[in-house]
Structure 1
């Protein structure tokens, strides 16, 4: 699938699906580790049957090399660590501050792309990325705190941004070799095991939650992950990890819009301006990316 316009359209749909994450988490009443466990565990169960219904998927799973298994396991470790750090950061700092810092992952992605994959970025692409990052900061600026406790949460969110970037870069390497289902079940399976052990160690309850919370677990698995993150994993075969990271900056836009309609939260002028700035930066970045692709 080499059509850039189709790739970007799918990226937009995936980003919107991912934007539902914060809404489902907000509506649930379970601890962070349990929310993450069921999100990834249910996703694993949803994807696992496709191993046996597709001969190519089954063949790739059976023929996984030790190197591929280790890389897939590493992606799962990065993903579980990302969720633990991000969700734990919400205990120390505001939701807006944490989300804004987590979406700064293009900063890590640009450096890693240049160092690992020798990817080169034009001034226009960097300018577009910076504009979008400024838009994210504007949305959450009023919620940034200076207290020592808040700084701990902000640091956790910052590390979580770097970890999820590592997850996508590992995926970019492995997706060149195997299809999205074998890759995803490797990562989500490992993540589920890690989160299960962590939840036991922290004595979190796996049951006794409201019906709404269970629906939120399913929504996080199918909408936020299968239609969001798995779509990104699928696109990594054709799209760079830095481009995926850039598109995720749009997550805050979708979250603000959904929060207005679903949670009844007010869309402030500051948020509206931030949304317009983010979208402007993304347009600049992807137009430049399209031009570069057309020339190659």
Structure 2
């Protein structure tokens, strides 16, 4: 693969995952847990044929579920919590704030390392300080009149914490499982949990548990499943073979910027305030410093 193709894949993947928030906001007549359930229902259906083809081409051991049921279930639970909390935050705070806080998981990973008494480098410490100052600055734009809110920001942050659990378990399971053998059951479990949550937590919703199959929302949900869901992550995984993981991780920190621009162009998000811009740039800079430190620590720990 040529370098230009790899960079194109990264651009496609980054745009795909960044556009999800704006598309979700277009479905303003659907409650958040229903939207989360719909997205993962559609993604599960989309993953099925790929899992079938992959099963025929890979070893049976990579598709074995025996002994992996509990971690697969827990991983699916974390994934359900991530989407449920993040999509709920979109209704509670601004798009930019939601994206800034839901992508702040590098800070949470570092906090976990600190609690476990793992060594933390100077770049990571500087990154946390910058990110903390940035988060505080964004609160200057908090509003009680429908804009950014502290509650919504905290819900998005909880969504970031959930993705840390999902990534940690996934990293362990993916060492012995093929891509779709892992992705299909985990996504299916998350879809089922969110569907049940929508049934009990949003019982009065007129959207329907499978309402995305109707003409009103099928295009938006299909895009979410195929664009951000399948194509976005597949393109990023493809680019990883030819672009350093550090570069890709840093590129993904720009999701709040790209997502905010997409939201503004689609008319579902306003231009963020100056404190959000200043604080957001500090948060992104801090996240980049943390990522660089973590990647450098990883390369030192790995045998040459």
Distance apart, 1:180 and its partner CA: 1.5
In 2, Cα distance between the equivalents of 1:172 and 1:97?
A: 28
Deviations 1:34-59 (A, max 9, x none): 21112111111111112221224572
Taking structure 2 as the reference length, the TM-score comes to 0.73
Q: Is the alpha carbon distance of 1:131 and 1:93 closer, same or farther for their aligned partners in structure 2, counting shifts above 3 Å?
A: same
In 1, Cα distance between the equivalents of 2:215 and 2:133?
A: 39
Query: 2:18 — aligned with what?
Result: 19
Unpaired segments ≥5 residues, structure 2: none
Distance apart, 1:141 and its partner CA: 3.9
Contact 2:263 2:269 in 1 (8 A): yes
What SS class does the counterpart of residue 206 from structure 1 fall into?
coil
In 2, Cα distance between the equivalents of 1:234 and 1:73?
A: 27
Distance apart, 1:208 and its partner CA: 5.6
Contact 1:106 1:242 in 2 (8 A): no
Q: Is the alpha carbon distance of 1:242 and 1:83 closer, same or farther for their aligned partners in structure 2, counting shifts above 3 Å?
A: farther
What SS class does the counterpart of residue 187 from structure 2 fall into?
helix
Query: 2:222 — aligned with what?
Result: 218
Deviations 1:191-222 (A, max 9, x none): 01111112222323235667452211111111
Q: Is the alpha carbon distance of 1:92 and 1:259 closer, same or farther for their aligned partners in structure 2, counting shifts above 3 Å?
A: closer
Query: 2:65 — aligned with what?
Result: 64
In 2, Cα distance between the equivalents of 1:285 and 1:12?
A: 22
Query: 1:206 — aligned with what?
Result: 209
In 1, Cα distance between the equivalents of 2:52 and 2:117?
A: 34
In 1, Cα distance between the equivalents of 2:246 and 2:117?
A: 10
In 1, Cα distance between the equivalents of 2:229 and 2:296?
A: 30
Taking structure 1 as the reference length, the TM-score comes to 0.75
Contact 2:195 2:209 in 1 (8 A): no
Contact 2:95 2:263 in 1 (8 A): no
Q: How many residues align?
A: 289
**Deviates further, 127-136 or 166-175:** 127-136
In 2, Cα distance between the equivalents of 1:30 and 1:287?
A: 39
In 2, Cα distance between the equivalents of 1:136 and 1:177?
A: 38
Distance apart, 1:248 and its partner CA: 4.6
Query: 2:172 — aligned with what?
Result: 173
Contact 2:40 2:225 in 1 (8 A): yes
Unpaired segments ≥5 residues, structure 1: 1-5
Query: 1:104 — aligned with what?
Result: 104
